[in-house]
Structure 1
Amino acid sequence: MWADAASTNTHNTASHRVLAKNGFEQHGSARNHLHIIGPWDDADLYQRILNNRPRRTPELTGYPTSRSPRHARF
């Protein structure tokens, strides 16, 4: 299984929208996770499981299948 991970400040709604539009799902939160100028902040944790994408069909990719007449074995 392959996954991408990201974390954002809990108050950063713009980053939450960008992650959601790119297929990330929130899977948790971490207290005192980020330290960017000032006190430690909580973070929302996101992940995207790459194996959960729909399987690409030959019709969508343009590649012939093994059942294609060009590749038939006689």
Structure 2
Amino acid sequence: MKISARNILKGTVKAITAGSVNSEVVIELPGGQEITSIITKKSVAALGLAPGKQAYAVIKSSEVMIAVD
């Protein structure tokens, strides 16, 4: 994966809370800190996100995006 964002934090999906359109995704980092992002339910499905799966919190300016290999 190549991306222009400089802040890429690898962690494990801790929880996903689905809403009607968006989902809240919590990623736990190796030190125990948590990053939370709101993404569409479609993106959760497309990325195959599930608790226990490895994922990246990609931070660019004021956004936190989620990425997978």
Quickly name the TM-score band, shorter chain normalised. Answer: under 0.3
Which structure: greater helix fraction?
Answer: 1
TM-score (norm 1): 0.26
TM-score (norm 2): 0.28
Name the larger-Rg structure: 1
Which structure: greater strand fraction?
Answer: 2
